[in-house]
Structure 1
Amino acid sequence: MTNREPADNDAPGAIDESVQAELSRLRESIDNIDAAVVHMLAERFKCTQQVGHLKAAHRLPPADPSREARQIARLRQLAESANLDPAFAEKLLNFIIAEVIRHHERIAETAPAAPGDAPAATPLE
């Protein structure tokens, strides 16, 4: 037991003012970082959409496994140097890659036929 009198902030759920201020400061930083991450992802997807249109125009496959493997290795290395769990970084990149491939497949499905492509076969009636 301590000899001090209980303070108002000792009630369940009450937080010391200085702790609350630090929590607020840290949470504000987290919110700013989250906003930056979202904006960076949006920029990344703008670029990958352009890649998808280029691939579709030249009838290239939506996925590029060798590029993906290089990117995963690169991101794991970056994560290690930033003291971030490389496995987490890989999971995040795999999630992003899957979304990019999905976008590229959708773009390829709606792409106009390239000049010189044979017309699609029509069923006999």
Structure 2
Amino acid sequence: MVDQAVKEQLSSYRQSIDNIDAALVHILAERFRCTKAVGMLKAKYDLPPADPAREEYQIARLRRLAQDAHLDPDFAEKFLNFIITEVIRHHEAIAAEHGGATEKTV
């Protein structure tokens, strides 16, 4: 049988995790609202959905931030690559809707 104090501490940690997960969802939603605006601008001016130089910069930047925060930089890079892939997919869809560029690279 687990001590009541241990159960309470576990519950407290889990509540914190639930709150952080909710915050992450809201932050991601806001990020995608911003990237949608970028996609609309790119479509309007017939710019390519992907920007490899920007992506490379962002990955390096996120790796440094992760390292400073004592988070595995490889994990942070995988996470950002997942987001970038999704953003590019959205930008390609927006471009297709507006008859613009659908190429993944410049």
TM beyond 0.5? yes
Does 1:93 pair with 2:80?
yes
Q: Could you list the runs of 4 or more consecutive aligned residues of structure 1 that deviate by over 6 angstroms after TM superposition?
A: none
Distance 2:47 2:99 in 1: 14
Q: Gaps (5+ residues) in structure 1?
A: 1-8, 10-14, 114-125
Does 1:66 pair with 2:53?
yes
TM-score by length of 2: 0.92
Aligned residues: 100
Larger Rg: 1
Q: Structure 1: which amino acid aligns with 2:75?
A: F
When the two chains are superposed, the root-mean-square deviation of aligned CA atoms in Å is 1.0
SS at match of 1:104: helix
TM-score by length of 1: 0.78
Q: Gaps (5+ residues) in structure 2?
A: 101-106
Distance 1:16 1:104 in 2: 52
Q: Structure 2: which amino acid aligns with 1:42?
A: A
Q: Identify which of structures 1 and 2 has the higher relative contact order when contacts are C-alpha pairs closer than 8 Å and 6+ apart.
A: 2
Which residue of 1 is the match for residue 31 of structure 2? 44
Q: Between the two proteins, what is the percent identity of the paired residues? A: 65
Distance 2:24 2:80 in 1: 13
Which residue of 2 is the match for residue 19 of structure 1? 6
